[in-house]
């Protein structure tokens, strides 16, 4: 029972896998930024396409009733756009570079290095999920109101 544990140095494959894991973990925030850029492109294009399709389908007599539904649709699209922009804007995080991960019992608002990557990616993910839901609801409502 008191035998020492046998250890060995990691081989090249294990070192490479560990390196790739660290890159993937640290790159999650960048992936959220790329997703936000794609979502932003859609959020800017769809309202214009909506107006263009209405014009093409109905011709010069194309009108959209400006009622509560109209305001709701564009409000949803605007909120989605604002959430996406909020996810893309840089944020100031309090990070203590001396620690890798904050002690869960700590009352400090400073994050460890690992916590920073997790929190920034989670923040962006939450903003983008909410933006995507709002944007989809706006599209669905716009599709239901076309006469």
Q: Kindly give the confidence (pLDDT) of every residue in the chain, 147 residues in length, as a single tens digit, with 9 standing for 90 and above.
A: 678 777 888 888 888 888 888 888 888 888 899 999 999 999 999 888 877 777 776 666 666 667 898 899 989 999 999 999 999 999 898 988 888 888 888 888 888 888 898 999 999 999 999 999 999 999 999 888 765
pLDDT at 64: 64
Mapped onto helix, strand or coil, the DSSP state of residue 120 is helix
| pTM more than 0.85 | no
pLDDT at 88: 93
pLDDT at 6: 79
User: Which residue intervals of the chain are DSSP H helices?
Assistant: 12-26, 28-58, 68-88, 113-145
Phi, psi dihedrals of residue 126, rounded to the nearest 5°: -65, -45
pLDDT at 77: 94
Alpha-carbon Rg of the chain, whole angstroms?
A: 24
pLDDT at 58: 66
Contact 112, 99 (CB under 8 A): yes
pLDDT at 98: 87
**Residue 18 and residue 112: Cα distance in Å, rounded?**
20
Contact 107, 59 (CB under 8 A): no
Report which of 19, 54, 56, 35 is spatially closest to residue 132, judged by C-alpha positions: 35
**Residue 128 and residue 15: Cα distance in Å, rounded?**
33
């Amino acid at each position: 029972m008191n035998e020492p544990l046998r250890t060995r140095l990691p081989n090249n494959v294990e070192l490479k896998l560990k390196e790739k894991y660290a890159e993937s973990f640290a790159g999650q925030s960048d992936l959220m930024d790329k997703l936000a850029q794609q979502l932003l492109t859609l959020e800017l294009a769809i309202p214009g396409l909506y107006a263009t399709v209405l014009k093409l389908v109905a011709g010069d007599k194309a009108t959209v009733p400006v009622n509560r539904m109209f305001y709701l649709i564009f409000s949803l699209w605007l909120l989605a756009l604002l959430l996406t922009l909020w996810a893309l804007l840089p944020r100031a995080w309090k990070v203590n570079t001396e620690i890798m991960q904050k002690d869960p019992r700590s009352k400090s608002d400073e994050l460890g290095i690992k916590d920073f990557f997790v929190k920034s990616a989670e923040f962006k993910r939450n903003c983008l999920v909410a933006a995507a839901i709002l944007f989809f609801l706006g599209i669905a409502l716009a599709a239901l109101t076309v006469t």
